[in-house]
A and B are shown apart, each in its own frame.
Chain A
C-alpha cells in the first residue's frame, strides 16, 4: 500500500463512522459482562451500595482473641459455644459491614486452647437460620449449635486445657471501624465469658470469591453433595449426549439418503420427511412431548431432556447436502473392492467430512447448552436441573443476593466461552454454509 495515495472523498468520514459505531456497539455489549464480573466479586454489603461501585472493596478478616485465664475450666462444648457466640452475634449486629471472615482464638495462660473460623459465605448462607434476628441469648445458641455443626458453617478446633501452641504476644484491640464495633458489642452484651484481649482486622482479598462458595453451599442443599457442579454435570451430560446422538444418527441417515438411495425422487421424499419437522415450533410440542415423556416414565430424568433432541431436521439436511458433494467415484471404487457400508462410512466418508461434523457439533452445542424451557418443564427435581434452570431458580430465592446470581451467570458462560474460542472459525463457516440460525 502506497503511503501517500489519494484518499477518496468521503472515505475518511465513512471509516470514522465505521469505527465509532462499531466501538459503540461492542462497548455497550461488553459493559454488562464486565458489570457481571465485578458484581460477582462483591460482598453482600457492596452489592447494595448506592451509588453502584465499579471496584469491589476487599473484605476484612476480623481476628478476635478471648482470654480465659482465671476462669474455671470447662469442657470443649462450652468453648465451642463461646466461640460461636463471639462470632455469629457481633457479625449479625454488624451485618452491613464488609466482613470476610471472623476468627476467634481462645487463650488460657498464654496457651491457645481453641481456634474457630467462619467465612462469609457460610455466614450468609446460615444467617437466616442461625441468627434470624438480633435477639441474642444463651438458649438460642444451645438450639442453633447442632445446625452449625451439621452444615459445617464454622470450623472449630479444640486443643485441650493444656493448650496447643504459644499464643502470640502484643495483642491489642484495634480502633479500626469493625474492630471497635465488635469491641463495643462484647463490652455491652455479657454473653461471652472470656476476656477480650485482642481484636484485629486485615484485608483478605481471597474472601471476594465467597459469593461463588455461597452459591455452592446453597446448591448443595437442593441438589446433593456435588452442589453447583451437579448442574454443571447435568448440562454437560445433556449437551454431549445430544451432540453424539446427532452426529451418529444424522451422519448415518445422511449417508443413507445420499449414497444408498439411487432415485432422486425418493431422496427428495426422505429429505422432506426429516426437514419438514423444522416447521413445527418447539412450543407447540411442549405439551404432547411432556405427556409422551410421562407415558414413557422418563419425567424427572436426563433422558427426557436429551431424547427429543435426537430429531432435528436441519442436521440430516446439512449432512446430506455435504455428502452429495463428495466424489462418488471414491465410494464406487471402495464398493468394487468389496468394502461394506460400515467401512465406507467410517473410513472414507467420515474422514472427508470433518468440517460438517464439526459445524453440526458446534451449532448443536450452543443452543442445547442454553436451552431453558424444555428442561424447566420436564424436570422439577433439582437433582436433574440443568444450568439454565438452576440459574432461574436462584434468582427467585429470597436468600440469594445478586452477587451470587452474577457469580452463577459467569460460571454458566465458561464452557461456552471455551467452545467458542476454539471453534469460532467453524461457527463462521457453519453460518456461511447453512444460513440457518442455530
Chain B
C-alpha cells in the first residue's frame, strides 16, 4: 500500500517566513505605496487626499527645479567620471607591480574607506575653510586663492567631488586588484617571450583582462552617483543657491520640507526606473560573461 502522503513542508515555511514578511513589509509594500502616493495630491493628515492621476508626473517634467536638479546630477556625473572613476584602475594596475610593501599599501589604501562618510566630509569641510583652512593656505604659496570653496557657484561641485579622488577608491581598488591577480601568469610570460615590455604588457594584457570588471563597476558607479546624497548634504546642504541640489536631494526636500508627498513619490518612481534599468543592464552584462 503506497500512499504518497502530501505533507506540508513546515520547515520550509518556518525558515522562509520571517524573510518573506520582512521583504514584503519593508520593500514591496513601500514600493507599491510609493506608486500609490504618486497618483494623489497626497495629504498626510487625511490620506490619501485628492486623486491626481498622472499630474504629478507631468508636473515634474515641466518643473524647472527638477530639470535643474537633473542637470546638477549630470554635472556631478561628469566630474566624478573625469576625476575619480579611472583612479582605482590605475592604482590597482600599479599596485600589482609593487612587491615590497604591497600589503601595507593595500592596507593604507583602504584606510579612508573605514571613515564614516560624514566624518570624512567634515574633515574636508574644515580644510576648505576659507579663513583658517589648510587648502587656501597651501594654495597661497603658489599665488592662488583664497577660494570660497563651498560658497562659490563655480567650484562648489568640484569641492564636493575632490575628496573622492583621494579617499574614494577602497573597495573598487580591491576588486580590480584581485581581478588583475587572477590573470594567468602564462599569458604574461608568453607576451614577455614575444618581446612585450612591462609597460606594454600592462596596457595590452592586464587592462583588457579587467575590462569586464571595469564595465560592471561603471554601471555601479552610475547608480552610485545618481544616489549620492550624504556627502553633498553634509558639505553644502544643496547650496549655494541650489547649485548642488541633486535629484535625490530634491526627493527628500520635496517630501520632508515642502510636504509635497505626491510629487516626491513621482520623482522616487522616476529614480526607481532609472536604477532598476541600470541594475538590469548590469545583470545582463554579468550573465553574458558567465
A residues sitting closer than 8 Å to B (CB atoms) are 8-11, 13-15, 17-19, 21-22, 25-26, 28-30, 32-33, 35-36, 39, 47-52, 249-250, 252-253, 255-257, 260-261, 270, 273-274, 277-292, 307-308, 310-311, 313, 316, 340-341, 366, 369-370, 372-373, 377, 387-388, 391-392, 395, 402, 405-406, 408-410, 412-413, 416-417, 419-420, 424, 427-428, 431-432, 435, 437-438
Contacts and interface: CB of A to CB of B under 8 A. Distances in A.
A25 B109 contact: yes
B23 A274 contact: yes
A50 B117 CA distance: 27
The 6 lowest CB-CB distance pairs between A and B, nearest first, are A288-B30, A409-B119, A256-B15, A284-B268, A253-B19, A10-B197
19 contacts: A9-B197, A29-B109, A33-B111, A36-B119, A48-B131, A253-B19, A278-B279, A281-B226, A284-B31, A284-B275, A287-B265, A310-B22, A373-B229, A392-B234, A405-B122, A406-B122, A406-B126, A409-B120, A412-B119
Interface string B44-82: 100000000000000000000000000000000000000
Given A279-B279, A288-B34, A370-B117, 5 more contacts: A30-B111, A273-B23, A281-B275, A370-B118, A435-B175
A377 B275 CA distance: 22
Which of A11, A26, A33 has the most B CB atoms < 10 Å from its CB?
Answer: A26
B90 interface: yes
A377 B60 CA distance: 23
Contacts of A9: 197
Task: Give the size category of B's interface with A.
Answer: 35 or more
A404 B251 CA distance: 32
A39 B127 CA distance: 10
B252 A253 contact: no
Interface in B137-196: 137, 163, 166-167, 169, 171-172, 174-175, 178, 192
A270 B231 CA distance: 35
B105 interface: yes
A412 B37 CA distance: 37
B97 A260 contact: no
Nearest to B226: A281
B229 A292 contact: no
B97 A28 contact: no
B132 A48 contact: yes
B16 interface: yes
Interface string B191-220: 010000111101000000000010010001
Contacts of B172: 437
A261 B13 CA distance: 11
A419 B115 CA distance: 12
A21 B96 CA distance: 12
A392 B34 contact: no
